[in-house]
Amino acid sequence: MDDVIIIGAGPAGSTAARLLAEKGKSVRVLEKSSFPRKKPCGGAITSRALALLPPSFHDQVLSAPTFWTFRGRKGFRTIPTPRPFCYTVDRMTFDAWLAYQAQKSGAEIHFGTAVLAFAFDGEQYLVKTDQGYFQSRYLMGADGAKGISAKYLGLNRPKNGAAVEIEVSSALKADDINRVEINVSGYPWGYAWVIPHGSVANIGVGSFKAGKLPALKPLLQNYVKKTVAKWSSPSPILAHPLPYRTHFSPLAIHHGLLIGDAAGLMDGFSAEGIYSALYSAFAAVEVVDRALDKNTDVEDYNTVIRERLWAQLKPALKMSRLFYPLAGFWADWFLTHTDLLEEYLALTQGDSNYDQLLAKTENTLLAQLRLRPLTR
């Protein structure tokens, strides 16, 4: 029997597997796909996420853009960033590299093995896959937005927005290779992006609108036409859910817990999910490592995530609820307040946070209202 079974070998699962193996635990990852596999993603890794990756990560980097363009209805601002705004990766090779780091540390990964169901009998998990049965003392659900772990642990699933993306080779002009663009005008509860992967443009549209999904594909096709003049071998359009929580609810029960997208720990304003996937993997390993020694439950994980990560995600959601219903208005207003755009950039670099951005936005708005009183 293994100490821990992890379902899914995305950034969350492979990172948790590597950390557990480094601690000398026996860990088995069950991954339904054969790697390398495609995962729809902008592949933008922010500085705060970078700190949670092994140092050899730098070999994976395709671009490190130092310009950021924010586009609204009435124009745009391009702001240079003192450090790269993000580091971009191809998720196909990045995820395979992370899985290899876990294997190198001693984790066993079964690719092409889909988990169908699992149950806990009070002492161990029995996991049924399409390749047979496995047993473990602890279990981590890292099976992403479409996974089954939340259901079998009996924990609440997050809400789902959605995103569509396309990759266009040789699409970017020289100036654009070093620039990320965000466009917030005309996208329901979301935005469009262009993220450079070398000379390849990763272009997408995402929406946090839960429930009936807006038609994102035509919006993407329109945006692509406007953005990149030259087309060469565009990839097919891929769609994927954006799982995020609107309130905190337990993510651990007995000897099992959820990490990454399976837990719905995405930033509800920016859709950055890789940072939370890595962060929750570190937190889960800390808790499971302690529990393995004493054979206790892992419900401490709920407190750790609520106090450390949810404390960052909750104000992101507040920003989202403030910004997206009136995105056109806010975008134009932010365009005239570059200091607020810079505050957002500082946040993505780990030098500020949403509480500070919200406070600064509120103070700027109040000051402006006082300076321009209503006239008869």
Ligand X SMILES: Cc1cc2nc3c(=O)[nH]c(=O)nc-3n(C[C@H](O)[C@H](O)[C@H](O)COP(=O)(O)OP(=O)(O)OC[C@H]3O[C@@H](n4cnc5c(N)ncnc54)[C@H](O)[C@@H]3O)c2cc1C
Closer to ligand X by CB, 72 or 243: give it: 243
CA–CA separation, 267 and 245 (whole Å): 9
Which residues, in sequence order, are CB contacts of 342 under 8 Å at separation 6+? Answer: 79
Phi, psi (degrees; rounded to nearest 5) at 151:
-60, -50
Q: Is 190 one of the binding residues for ligand X (CB under 6 A)?
A: no
Residues 131-160 that bind ligand X (CB under 6 A): 142-144, 146-148
Q: Is 347 one of the binding residues for ligand X (CB under 6 A)?
A: no
Q: Is 185 one of the binding residues for ligand X (CB under 6 A)?
A: no
CA–CA separation, 93 and 32 (whole Å): 17
Closer to ligand X by CB, 84 or 144: give it: 144
Closer to ligand X by CB, 345 or 361: give it: 345
**Of the candidate residues 5, 8, 68, 94, the single one contacting ligand X (CB under 6 A):** 8
- Which amino acid, one-letter code, is at 15? T
Q: Kindly report whether the peptide bond that precedes residue 315 is cis, defined as omega within 30 degrees of 0.
A: no
Residues 100-129 that bind ligand X (CB under 6 A): 114-115
How many residues belong to the site for ligand X (CB under 6 A)?
Answer: 40
228, 172 Cβ separation under 8 angstroms: yes
CA–CA separation, 323 and 270 (whole Å): 11
Shortest Å distance, C-beta 16 to ligand X: 9
Shortest Å distance, C-beta 371 to ligand X: 38
Report, in angstroms and rounded to the nearest whole number, the Rg of the chain calculated over CA atoms: 21
Tally of helices (H runs) and strands (E runs) in the chain: 11, 17
- Site track for ligand X across 278-307, x = CB under 6 A: ------------------------------
Q: Which residues in this chain contact ligand X in the complex, by CB under 6 A?
A: 7-13, 30-33, 39-44, 114-115, 142-144, 146-148, 163, 165, 204, 240, 242, 260-262, 266, 271-275, 277
